[in-house]
């Protein structure tokens, strides 16, 4: 089998893995949200916010280096990576355990201090996950990783309902997270080919630190982007005297954020995994690269348009249908969250193009721009603005990050922004029409008229896309003509970067 077909099939396998695990996570969150009150769901959301903070601030990406490094298959290299990961897990576990009480008081839930202590089990369990799953990806063997991820996600989703009837408070999410980590740990050892051994060889550890620090910075930026707004909402009553946000507000915002994020992150992750090898194959021929770049932009634009329209027009109804009427307040801002995530899908195009040209700084720099949204979130929290201001800040941040990514790609690699004008304009037009539809009060007439209007708008924008984007009308199989060979430069083969 040729290498480009192996990459394509690997991308499909990873796409299935992403889709299945995210679907399970979504179903689990729906079950928890249905059982818990918005305030309890807000406390449950704090668990994820707290764990993610330390996880991203300490991630040296040793697992990615096992895939990228030429000698990543060496047993000594893997043993050192395993030791670094275990050490990181132990340190994070101690930090969370010691700070459990202060964290609970910061968010105004001192009664949940015991749960934050138990949260220390998460990094401890994940620290001993077998890294052979990452090493096997060097040979495009993704099966073991899929088994571990999908197996743990499926089992914890099955456990959610019986546990929910037994545990009817915020600790339900805690135990589900612990169970998922424990099952993932066991499965990783069952499907591994090598024994799990540890060593501390200084030369390998130094390389891991040198490799991981830029990704660690990017991880911190990603935390600010994905969790910063919820962290501020949850702690705002402690940080600002005039803030009116409560834990119930955090719960409402979290369910809307998760609903809008689920389809967009799925599309963004799969697109990244598939488009990176496709563009990397022709990185030495700019004519071919520009052609594929334009086609990728058209495809991504179409997907972003079709996802954003129903989120904007039907997001409020979807929240009530999925989570219940107690979260109906999300209808006031979920449309802006849908638009925000659509911009993030569009950002896949310039970001992945930069990666294919061995530029791993594009994502980090655009994410720096994205963190500007935090200023709007802080202002809204300090002055007691409605939650819609938080969503508006995120939209503005994504717009700035998209512009930065496109500008830097043009400056550094000569890829003119002209190729993106038509596809991106289609997406913005679709979002604008959806927003006008909602502003006209369509939602007040009921979910059925809103659904029919949404389907009609999607059909219209689909036709417009075919007219305005000739790439969508062509034979997409021509993308694979003269595929060439995938560059084996280390920078290009780092496919695990988040965008």
* Tens-place pLDDT, residues 70-113: 777 888 888 998 999 999 889 989 998 998 888 888 888 888 88
**Is a pLDDT exceeding 80 seen at residue 138?**
no
Q: What is the mean pLDDT of the chain?
A: 82
pLDDT digits (tens, 9 = 90+) for 256-291: 998 898 888 778 777 776 777 678 777 788 888 888
**Is a pLDDT exceeding 50 seen at residue 416?**
yes
pTM confidence score: 0.73
Q: How confident is the model at residue 469 (pLDDT cuts 50, 70, 90)?
A: confident
**Is a pLDDT exceeding 90 seen at residue 21?**
no
Rounded Cα distance, 257 and 229, in Å: 10
Question: In the chain, pLDDT over 90 holds for what percent of residues?
Answer: 27
Per-residue model confidence (pLDDT) at position 472: 66
pLDDT digits (tens, 9 = 90+) for 45-79: 888 778 777 777 667 667 766 765 677 788 888 89
Q: Which stretches of 133-205 are assigned E, i.e. beta strand?
A: none
Which two structure tokens, joined as six digits, stand for 21?
Answer: 């695990």
Average the pLDDT over 374-398 and give the result.
91
Average the pLDDT over 405-431 and give the result.
90
Burial class (CB in 10 A: 0-12, 13-18, 19+), 99: middle
CA distances from 4 to 73, 281, 373 (A): 22, 8, 39
The DSSP line for 307-345 is HHHHHHHHHHHHHHHHH-GGGGGGGGTHHHHHHHHHHHH
Rounded Cα distance, 116 and 95, in Å: 11
Distance between terminal CA atoms of the chain?
29
Per-residue model confidence (pLDDT) at position 204: 86
pLDDT digits (tens, 9 = 90+) for 317-338: 889 888 888 888 898 999 999 9
Question: In the chain, pLDDT over 70 holds for what percent of residues?
Answer: 86
């Amino acid at each position: 089998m040729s290498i480009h077909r192996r990459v394509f099939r690997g991308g499909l396998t990873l796409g299935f893995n992403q889709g299945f695990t995210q679907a399970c996570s979504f179903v689990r969150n729906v079950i928890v949200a249905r059982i818990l009150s918005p305030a309890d769901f807000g406390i449950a959301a704090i668990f994820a916010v707290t764990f993610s903070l330390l996880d991203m601030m300490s991630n040296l990406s040793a697992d990615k280096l096992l895939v990228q490094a030429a000698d990543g298959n060496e047993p000594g290299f893997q043993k050192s990576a395993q030791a670094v990961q275990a050490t990181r897990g132990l340190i994070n576990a101690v930090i969370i355990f010691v700070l459990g009480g202060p964290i609970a008081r910061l968010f105004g839930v001192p009664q949940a201090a015991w749960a934050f202590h138990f949260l220390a089990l998460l990094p401890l369990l994940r620290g001993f996950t077998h890294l052979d799953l990452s090493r096997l990806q060097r040979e495009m063997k993704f099966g073991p990783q899929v088994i571990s991820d999908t197996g743990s996600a499926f089992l914890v989703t099955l456990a959610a309902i019986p546990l929910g009837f037994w545990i009817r408070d915020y600790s339900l999410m805690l135990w589900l997270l612990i169970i998922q980590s424990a099952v993932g740990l066991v499965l990783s050892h069952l499907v591994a080919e090598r024994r799990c051994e540890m060593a501390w060889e200084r030369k390998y550890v130094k390389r891991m630190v040198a490799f991981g620090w830029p990704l660690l910075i990017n991880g911190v930026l990603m935390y600010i982007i994905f969790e910063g707004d919820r962290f501020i909402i949850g702690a705002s009553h402690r940080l600002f005297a005039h803030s009116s946000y409560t834990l119930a507000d955090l719960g409402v915002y979290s369910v809307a954020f998760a609903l809008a994020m689920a389809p967009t992150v799925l599309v963004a992750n799969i697109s990244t995994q598939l488009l990176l090898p496709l563009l990397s194959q022709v990185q030495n021929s700019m004519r071919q690269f520009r052609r594929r770049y334009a086609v990728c932009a058209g495809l991504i634009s179409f997907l972003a348009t079709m996802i954003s329209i129903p989120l904007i027009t039907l997001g409020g109804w979807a929240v009530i249908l999925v989570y219940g009427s107690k979260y109906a307040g999300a209808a006031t801002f979920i449309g802006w969250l849908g638009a925000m995530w659509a911009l993030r899908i569009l950002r896949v195009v310039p970001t992945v193009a930069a990666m294919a040209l061995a530029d791993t700084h594009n994502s980090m720099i655009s994410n720096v721009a994205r963190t500007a949204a935090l200023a709007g979130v802080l202002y809204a929290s300090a002055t007691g603005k409605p939650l819609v201001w938080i969503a508006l800040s995120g939209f503005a941040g994504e717009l700035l990050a998209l512009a930065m990514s496109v500008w830097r790609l043009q400056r550094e690699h000569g890829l003119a922004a002209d190729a993106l004008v038509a596809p991106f304009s289609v997406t913005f037009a679709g979002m604008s029409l959806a927003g006008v539809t909602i502003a006209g009060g369509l939602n007040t007439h009921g979910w059925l008229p809103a659904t029919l209007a949404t389907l009609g708008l999607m059909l219209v924008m689909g036709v417009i896309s075919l007219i305005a984007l000739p790439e969508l009308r062509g034979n997409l199989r021509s993308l694979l003509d003269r595929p060439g060979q995938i560059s084996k430069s280390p920078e290009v083969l780092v496919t695990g970067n988040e965008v």
